[in-house]
């Protein structure tokens, strides 16, 4: 009985991952808080997603909700 439940649980997890939907393959327009419109591409699916600029750079939101270029974290030496 325990084996059947385990197999059912594993199968349900595997099957649910088959239904993930990719982001739209075309450019979308985002409106910045100051009203400026920018064009971005959405990448990933509903679980993991990000934005890239028209020239291929990764974008993210800053603390004021503006879309900005992402920057790698600096490694701090101890």
Residue 28 falls inside a structural domain: yes
State how far the Cα of 2 lies from the Cα of 40, in Å rounded to an integer: 48
Residue 56 falls inside a structural domain: yes
Q: How many domains does the chain have?
A: 1
Residue 64 falls inside a structural domain: yes
**Which domain covers residue 29, as residue numbers?**
21-69
Residue 7 falls inside a structural domain: no
More confident residue, 5 or 63: 63
Residue 76 falls inside a structural domain: no
Q: How confident is the model at residue 18 (pLDDT cuts 50, 70, 90)?
A: low
Q: How confident is the model at residue 23 (pLDDT cuts 50, 70, 90)?
A: confident
Question: What tokens appear for 45 in the block?
Answer: 């699916």
Give the pTM. Answer: 0.64
Looking at residue 41, its pLDDT comes to: 94
State how far the Cα of 39 lies from the Cα of 12, in Å rounded to an integer: 38
Looking at residue 12, its pLDDT comes to: 76
């Amino acid at each position: 009985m325990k084996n059947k439940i385990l197999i059912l649980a594993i199968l349900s997890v595997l099957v649910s991952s088959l239904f993930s939907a990719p982001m739209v393959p075309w450019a979308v327009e985002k409106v910045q808080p100051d009203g400026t419109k920018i064009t971005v591409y959405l990448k990933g699916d509903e679980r993991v997603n990000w934005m890239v600029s028209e020239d291929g750079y990764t974008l993210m939101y800053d603390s004021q909700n503006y879309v900005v270029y992402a920057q790698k974290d600096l490694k701090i030496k101890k």
